[in-house]
Amino acid sequence: MALCGGLGAMALPSELIVHIFSFLSDRDKLRASAVCSRWRECLFYPALWTQLKLRIGAGRKDGNSSSDETPKLEFLMRKFGSFVRELQLEFAPVECYIVPLNNDPSSSRMDQPHGPGNEAQLSERWRDAMAAYLDQLLCVLSSIRNNRNLRTLSLYGDTCVLHQEGLLEGSNLHQIHQGDKKINEIQELFMEMLSNSRQLRWLSCSFMLGLVTPCSLACLSNPSAETLQHLSLLDHQLGPLITPSELDRLSNLHSLALDFSDLTSELCGLLASPCRAPLHRLSLLINGAGLEFKPLEGTATEDDWKALVRVSANLRVYVMALEVDNSELLRVLKPSLPLESLHLDSYHSQVSDATLELISQQYNKTLTHFLLLRDNPDFPDLSDSRNEDPLVLLAWRCTQLAVLVVHGYILWSHNLVAISRLRGSSLRVLTVSEESVEYDPNQSVCMEGDPLLNLVKEVSLSLGRVWHPCLNSNQVLSEPTQHFHHELHTFSTGM
């Protein structure tokens, strides 16, 4: 308490107090602001809040409405929205919606009874969550609409569950009270923010309901069109969110993230123009469920990729494929595509050994990250025989491989040992779920001791570090669109 007396902290110059507080986290700054009025005045100095990173609606385990988060958001945006330079927000409007009604964290929404009363309750909770989401988005955009210092804007909507339940159709979204009016206002505010921006360098909008339209990017100011270095526009249901004419304005882009179906031959040709800055990172998402609405016809051809690579020699590509069958994958994976990171995620479909063979042959010089995940209790065996596992061939051919993650496919223990020996310590991440590992009974006869302990010992020795299979598959499996959003950020900033 001496710090609040006439001596101590109160006697220090405000500039020095601000400097000391700059070492605190955002959460600790807000807590410290409650100590006294002097601290509050110093803690809300603009220089301390140049960046703001929030996940809104997260962590609700009590079943309360996500609207409880709105007053806190309004306070923060009222204080900092007009001058913040880096704003990263994740909206999770349905986290409270999918919390089990019995408050038992071990059960899931799908375990609940589907009687008429339960459906009505879920419907009401969904409407409340979506109404809160619209209000929160209005609050954010109203606060930053005239912010000319904004350099980074990253918005992500965690709405995968709503997609799966079919609740994102326009008829459902517009059932919200004043939903049409609010959505129109949100879109207008977003376009106003783009037109008022002057030094925007990073613009990312992923799966944000009712925010981006095919006309939004046309409002981007000319100064921001010159300074923009990263653009990410992702939406499963809408058509192309960027036109060739708008992409032509963004001549200094270094990284780009799109739905694969939106990367048309014409767009790829524009990116290959020698009058533009070379593209360094390209992140592409393929959603098999969305191919019905956004087919692959007209996407970049092999010649388009060759032309792009000639101009952007350092280009690296990250691809995530969700529930995409092998025939569609073969159409996407062109030989000249400079693929560095590949994530194959599915529930029903499964990757064939022929597809893995093609991947290991075509991208043997560029592939560094490979994630093979399948969230299904049926684990297929990729190898025709236990001595010819395609993952072993991939580890052998892809000499730059540094990250390998496997779940949902059978990986024989001796093949796992072979992978670790082939790549050794250069394989920085080797994550395999314990459920995926199978042990050859014929080899177990020849070896003494517990097969799992022998596997751990052999792999650890080959990698040069302690290794264990992943005991909890939930640590391997993540919500795909959220994973893609986070990974493209890391991938794009890693140039």
Question: Measuring CA to CA, which residue among 160, 145, 126, 307 is closest to residue 234?
Answer: 160
Please give the pLDDT value at position 211: 87
**Tens digits of residue pLDDT in 85-124:** 999 998 876 554 333 223 333 333 333 334 444 444 446 7
Above 80 in pLDDT, residue 61?
Answer: no
**Which amino acid, 298?**
G
What is the distance of C-alpha 370 from the center of its chain? 16
Above 50 in pLDDT, residue 62?
Answer: no
Please give the pLDDT value at position 27: 78
**Tens digits of residue pLDDT in 382-393:** 876 555 789 999
Are 131 and 148 in contact by the 8 Å Cβ rule? The answer is no
Neighbours of 128 (CB within 10 A): 18
User: Facing residues of 204 across strands?
Assistant: 154, 232
Apex CA 395: angle with CA 389 and CA 399, to 5°? 155
Token output for 208:
């944000």
Q: Cα separations (Å) of 120 from 34, 83, 127?
A: 42, 43, 11
Please state which of the ranges 22-26, 165-169, 313-317 shows the lowest mean pLDDT. 165-169
**Tens digits of residue pLDDT in 349-398:** 999 989 999 999 999 999 999 999 999 889 998 876 555 789 999 999 99
Are 384 and 353 in contact by the 8 Å Cβ rule? The answer is yes
Q: Whole-angstrom Cα distance, residue 57 to residue 96? A: 7
Please give the pLDDT value at position 93: 64
Please give the pLDDT value at position 2: 43
Are 373 and 340 in contact by the 8 Å Cβ rule? The answer is no
Could you tell me the residue ranges of all domains in the chain?
A: 14-43, 49-59+66-97+123-253
Token output for 336:
């000249």
The phi and psi torsions of 70 (rounded to 5 degrees) equal: -65, -45
Q: For 247, what's the count of Cα atoms within 13 Å in the CB-facing half-sphere? A: 25
Dihedral angle sign, alpha carbons of residues 191, 193, 196, 199: negative
Beta strands in 223-289 (DSSP E): 230-234, 255-259, 281-287
Neighbours of 175 (CB within 10 A): 14
The phi and psi torsions of 208 (rounded to 5 degrees) equal: -90, 110
Q: Higher confidence at residue 320 or residue 99?
A: 320
What is the distance of C-alpha 334 from the center of its chain? 24
Above 80 in pLDDT, residue 128?
Answer: no
Cβ-Cβ contacts under 8 Å for 457 (sequence gap 6 or more): none
Q: What is the mean pLDDT of residues 60-71?
A: 57
Q: What is the mean pLDDT of residues 252-281?
A: 94
Buried b / exposed e across 148-165, counting CB within 10 Å, b at 16+? ebbbbbbbbbbbbbbbeb
Please give the pLDDT value at position 9: 64
Please give the pLDDT value at position 79: 84
**Which amino acid, 381?**
D
Q: Cα separations (Å) of 297 from 233, 246, 291, 292?
A: 20, 21, 10, 11
What is the pairing mode between strands 437-438 and 339-346? unpaired
Q: What is the mean pLDDT of residues 471-485?
A: 83
Kindly report the pTM of this predicted structure. Answer: 0.85
Are 129 and 97 in contact by the 8 Å Cβ rule? The answer is yes
Are 63 and 96 in contact by the 8 Å Cβ rule? The answer is yes
What H or E segment, with its residue span, contains residue 136?
helix 116-144
**Tokens 């994630």 sit at which residue?**
371
Are 346 and 323 in contact by the 8 Å Cβ rule? The answer is yes
* Residue 82 per-residue DSSP state: T
**Tens digits of residue pLDDT in 20-55:** 888 888 778 878 888 888 888 888 777 788 888 888
**Which amino acid, 299?**
T
What is the distance of C-alpha 60 from the center of its chain? 21
Written in H, E and C, the secondary structure of 169-214 is: CHHHHCCCCCHHHHHHHHHHHHHHHHHHCCCCCEEEEECCCCCCCC
